[in-house]
Chains A and B, each alone.
Chain A
Amino acid sequence: MMKTVSLTIDDKQIETQAGNTLLWAALDNGIYIPNLCSLRHAAAPAASCRLCWVEVEGKAQPVTACTEIAAEGMVANTRGTQALRLARNGFELLMASHPIECARCAALHVCELLKIAGHLNVKLNKNPYRKLVHHLPIDSSNPLFNYDPNKCVVCGRCVSICRERGTGVLGFAHRGFDRRATTFYDELIGDSACEQCGECVRACPSGALTFKVSVNV
C-alpha cells in the first residue's frame, strides 16, 4: 500500500500518492493546471514550458507545479494573481510564435493550446507581443503524418515518447529561438528510421504533428 498525503488545492481537499508532484495530484483530482511538457512517467520533469505556475502557502514566489512535490498539509492555489500572470505571460509568448490558423489546422479538435487559452482567458488574436514565427518548410515526407515545425512549442513530448516507444529518431536541435524538435541533421522524417507508430502525433499538443488522414485518436 502506497503512502498517501492529503493537501488542499484551490480550497479542495485532495489525496495523492506520496512523491507525486502537485501537477499530477491536481490533474488526477480534476483540477486543471495548464501544462505542455509534463509526462507522468518521466524520470525527471522537463519543467520547460513554464505554464503550470501555482502559489503555495509559505512560499514568496509562485512555483511550477510539475517540480513541486505534494506534501502533507500543503495549501496551493492555481488561481492566484501572480501565478496566473506568469502562466499568461508564458503562454502569450508561446502564442506570439505560433501561427494562428486554427480553422485550417488539422489539430483543431484536439488542440491543447486552445484549451489552455480558454482556461487562462487569453485571446489568441490579441497578443501583446510581436508575431515572431518561423517560416520553415512543412515536412510531409512521412506517409502517415505531417510535421509543421513552425507550430512546434518545444514541449518535447514527441521526443520523449519517440525515445520510449518509437525508434528515437526525434530529438532537439538548434539553440535559442531556433530550437525545435527535429531529426538528426534535420533529415526528412520520411527518410529517417521512423517506423510510423504515430505515438508522437498522438502526443503533440500544438498541431505541429498531424495525421494525414484523420484517424481516431
Chain B
Amino acid sequence: MTTTGVQAIIPAFQELKVCAEAHWKGLWKSGRTVITVGTAACGQAAGALEVLQAFRDEVSKLNLDCRVIEVGCMGHCYAEPIVIISKPGYPAICYGHVNPVIAGTLVKEFVAGDNPCLEFVLGALEKNDLIPSLSEFPRAQYEKKLILKNCGHIDPTDIEQYIANGGYLALEKALRMRPEKVIDEVKRSGLRGRGGAGFPTGQKWEICRNSAGKPKYAICNADEGDPGAFMDRSIIESDPHSVLEGMLISAYATGARQGYIYVRAEYPLAVERVQIALRQAKKLGLLGREILGSNFSFDIKLFQGSGAFVCGEETALIASLEGEAGTPHVRPPYPAVSGLFGKPTTINNVKTLTYVRHIINNGAEWFAGIGTKGSRGTAVFALAGKIVNTGLVEVPMGTTLRQVIFEVGSGIPNGKKFKAVQIGGPSGGCLPESALDLPIDFDSLKKAGAMMGSGGMVVLDEDDCMVEIARYFVEFTQRESCGKCTYCRLGTKQMLEILTDITKGRGKLEDIDMLQHLAEGVKAGSLCGLGKTAPNPVLTTLRYFRNEYEAHVREGRCPSLMCPDLIAYYILPHKCERSCDACVGTCSVEAISPDKKRIKVIDQEKCVKCNNCLVACPLQYNAVVKLSPPGKVPTSKK
C-alpha cells in the first residue's frame, strides 16, 4: 500500500465518525425521551410491529417530543416484545411482554406523565435506586457480551448508529496495519471458527493469503439451519454491520476482492437488513472501490440459499454459489486453497466474523484472556426447549452447562426435572445430567460425544423421550441429506427405520446393536460433515440413555410417556367428577363416554391419543393420566 493510501484513511474515517456521532447525539437530545422497540424476528413473532405502531400512534396523538426507533434482539427472547424507554431523569427502563395496550399506557403514564409503570418492568439498564437492574439478575454474573453488545441497543438499519458506537473503527485500524499483521493478531488471539468445527480462524486466513490464484473470495456462512438455533439470524438482524466489518477485515487480510454473504432465504428479515447495510456501507465508501481512500477495494454480494441444510457445509455452499446443486465435495483441497470457482476462498461463520473487530480493537492478548486454554473468547448459545428464559446468551468459554441452563436460563419450567441438553443440533449430541458440570469449550464437548456446533442448545426435561429425540434428528438429517454418498443416503435411512420401529413398539433387542453398528459406520464412512456427524444424536442417546431404548424394546414402555404408540390415556375413576363433561366435549373422535355412574371412560379402540382430554380435565380433578405400556389400562366393564 502506498503511504498516501494510509494517510487518507484517518481523515476519511474521522469525517464519517464526526458525522455519525452528531447524528447519535441528536437522537439523544437533552430533554427528549427515546423509545426503542426490539423488532428482530423473535420480537416480530411476538407482535413487536403492532407495539411499534401503537407507540408511534400514541406519541403523535399526544404530540410528544419523543423518538420511537427499532432495534434488534437483546437476547431476552422469552420476554418479547421488549421495549426500552429512556426518559431524562430516569434510568433507561426495559419493559417485557409489551402489547399495544401496554404501549399506549406507557406513553400516557410514563412518557407524558411521571409513572414508570413498575408492573410492566423487566429491569433497568443501569443500576439505580428505583428499579432492579438487569445487571443484578443472576444471569448477569455469568454473561459477558462481546458480539451481542450492540444487539438490541442500536438501530440495525442505521449505519451511523453503528459507527457512533465504535463501528468500523477496527476496519480503520486494520487498514493501517499490514495484512500479515492482521492475520497474526487473529492467530494470536486463538479465535476458532464458531460454525461448529472450531478450526483456527487466523490459520485459515493465512492459508488463503498464501495460496496462489486470483481473485480471492471471502464468504460469510449465514446458512444457519439447525433446529433450535437462531444466533446467526439474531446477530444479522440486530447488528449487520458488525458482520460486514468482520468480512472487510478478513478480506483485507487474505487479499480477497469479492465477498458473498450466504443467507438462507427463510430469514427474510435478515436478508432485508443485510441489503440495507450493504447499501449504506457502499454509500459511505466503506465498501466498494478504494475503501476509506486506501488501495483496498472489496465488494459484497448477498446470496440467498434455497432451503437446503447441507448448504451450510462449506463445499456444498460453494457449489450452490457457483450455480450447481448444493452437494458437498471431497476435501482436500480445502476452500482456502481452492474454493469458489477454484480460487482461494475463506468461509467464516457469522459469529466468527463478528468477533474480528473486537480482536483488532482490543488486541489479541485481551481476547486470549477470555475463556479457556483451547477455546478463547466467548460462546453464544440459543437457549430453547424446556427452559424458562429462552433466548440468546453469551458467556465466556469454560462456563459450565449447569451455569448456563440453571443460572442464565433459570432452569426448567413447571417444576419438571432436567433430563438432557441437546447441543449442536443434528450434528451434536444429548448430554445427561452427569455432564452438566462440563466446562463449555470445543474439546470437552467433543469428548462427551456432543459438539459445540453452531450454538443451538435445546433443553429436554423428563417428558422428552430420548429415543424419539434421536428419531427426530435422524429424520431431519435423512430429509436434509443430499443423498450423494452411500453411507449418508442409505445409512441414515436404515437408522431412521430402526428408530421409528422402536418408538412404535416394534423394535427388537438386536435392533439396538444394529443401530450402534450403523451409527458408527455412517460416522466413519460418510463423505462430508453432515453425514459424519449425523449419528451423534443416536450415539449419545445410546451411550447415556440406553435404558430408555431397552424399556421401549423389552417392555413396550416409553418411560417419558411420549411415544403415542406406547401409551394409553386413562381416566382415574376415583378422581373423575360426575358432573363434569370437559373431556367428553373436547374429544375429537368421540372416544369418551360416561358410564352408568357418569364416570367417564375412554374407548381405547377409538382413542387417537391427541392429548385433548388431559389438557381439558380441570386441574382440581386431574383425572386423566397417561399409562405405558398401554396394557396397564384396567379392563373396563361397561
Tell me whether A50 and B486 are in contact (CB under 8 A). Answer: yes
| Complex interface bits, A95-107 against B, C-beta within 8 A gives 1, otherwise 0 | 0110000000000
A66 to nearest B CB, angstroms?
8
Once the chains bind, are A86 and B330 in contact (CB under 8 Å)? Answer: no
Q: Does the CB pair B325–A93 fall under 8 Å?
A: no
In the complex, the answer to whether A154 meets B524 with C-beta atoms within 8 Å is no
Interface residues contributed by chain B, number (CB under 8 Å): 31
Q: Are B524 and A48 in contact (CB under 8 A)?
A: no
Choose, from A8-16, A124-132, A186-194, A206-214, the stretch at the interface. A124-132
CB contact under 8 A between A48 and B485, given known A128-B514, A176-B492: yes
**Given contacts A128-B514, A175-B482, A176-B478, is CB(A96)–CB(B330) below 8 Å?**
no
Quick check: is B58 within 8 A (CB to CB) of the other chain? Answer: no
Given contacts A45-B330, A90-B525, A177-B489, contact A130 B482 (CB under 8 A): no
B354 CB-CB contact with A under 8 Å = no
Q: Of residues 478 to 516 in B, which have CB atoms within 8 Å of A's CB atoms?
A: 478-487, 489-494, 497-498, 514
Q: Tell me, yes or no, whether B242 is within 8 Å of chain A by CB.
A: no
Q: Does A67 contact B (CB under 8 A)?
A: yes
B483 contacts A176, C-beta separation under 8 Å: yes
Q: Are A61 and B490 in contact (CB under 8 A)?
A: no
Q: DSSP class of A's interface residues: helix, strand, loop or mixed?
A: loop
Confirm or deny: B304 has a beta carbon within 8 angstroms of a beta carbon on chain A: no
B485 in contact with A47 (CB, 8 Å): yes
- Does B329 interact with chain A (Cβ within 8 Å)? yes
CA distance A31 to B522 in the complex (A): 27
**Contact between A48 and B480 (Cβ–Cβ < 8 Å)?**
no
CB pair B487 A50 closer than 8 Å: yes
Nearest CB in chain A: distance from B501 CB, A: 9
Q: Does B521 contact A (CB under 8 A)?
A: yes
Does B623 sit within 8 A of A, measured CB to CB?
no
B526 close to chain A: CB less than 8 A: yes
How many pairs, one residue from A and one from B, have CB atoms within 8 Å of each other in the complex? 96
CA distance A90 to B483 in the complex (A): 14
Number of contacting residues on A, CB 8 A?
33
Determine whether the beta carbon of B486 is less than 8 Å from that of A172. Answer: no
| B interface SS class | helix
Give Cα A97–Cα B493 distance, bound, in whole angstroms.
Answer: 10
Cβ-based interface call for A89 (8 A): yes
Q: Which of B479, B482, B491 contacts A93 (CB 8 A)?
A: B491
Given A47-B330, A50-B525, A128-B514, are A154 and B493 neighbors across the interface (CB < 8 Å)? no
Which residues of chain A come closer than 8 Å to B514, judged between CB atoms?
128-129
Residue of B with least CB distance to A180: B483
Q: Do residues A178 and B483 form an inter-chain contact, with CB atoms below 8 A?
A: yes
Q: Which residues of B contact A49 (CB under 8 A)?
A: 485-486
Q: Is B527 an interface residue (CB 8 A)?
A: yes
Please determine whether A129 and B494 come into contact, CB atoms closer than 8 angstroms: yes
Asked if A175 contacts B479 (CB within 8 A), the reply is: yes
Distance A177 CA – B329 CA, assembled complex (angstroms): 19
Query: Once the chains bind, are B490 and A44 in contact (CB under 8 Å)?
Result: no
Residues of B within 8 A of A86 (CB): 521, 524-525
Cβ-based interface call for A51 (8 A)? yes
A90-B486 in contact given A44-B329, A50-B525, A176-B479 (Cβ < 8 Å): yes
A94 at the interface (CB under 8 A from B): yes
Closest-CB distance, A36 to chain B (whole angstroms): 9
Complex Cα distance, B518 from A130, in Å, reads 12
Q: Are A177 and B484 in contact (CB under 8 A)?
A: no
Verify if A123 is at the interface (C-beta below 8 Å from B).
no
Do B494 and A89 touch across chains, with their CB atoms under 8 A apart?
no
A179 and B326 CA atoms in complex are apart in Å by: 13
Instruction: Flag if B497 contacts A50 (CB, 8 Å).
Output: no
Contacts known (A132-B497, A177-B478); A93 close to B490, Cβ less than 8 A? yes
What 1/0 mask marks residues of chain B from 328 to 350 whose CB sits below 8 Å from any chain A CB?
A: 01100000000000000000000
Instruction: Specify which of A51, A89, A179 is in contact with B484 (CB 8 Å cutoff).
Output: A179
A–B Cβ pairs within 8 angstroms, 11 of them: A62-B524, A86-B521, A89-B517, A90-B486, A93-B491, A97-B493, A130-B497, A172-B327, A176-B478, A177-B483, A177-B490
- Known contacts A132-B493, A176-B493, then 10 further A-B pairs from the complex at CB < 8 Å, ordered by chain A residue: A45-B330, A47-B485, A49-B486, A53-B525, A86-B521, A130-B498, A154-B483, A174-B483, A175-B482, A176-B480
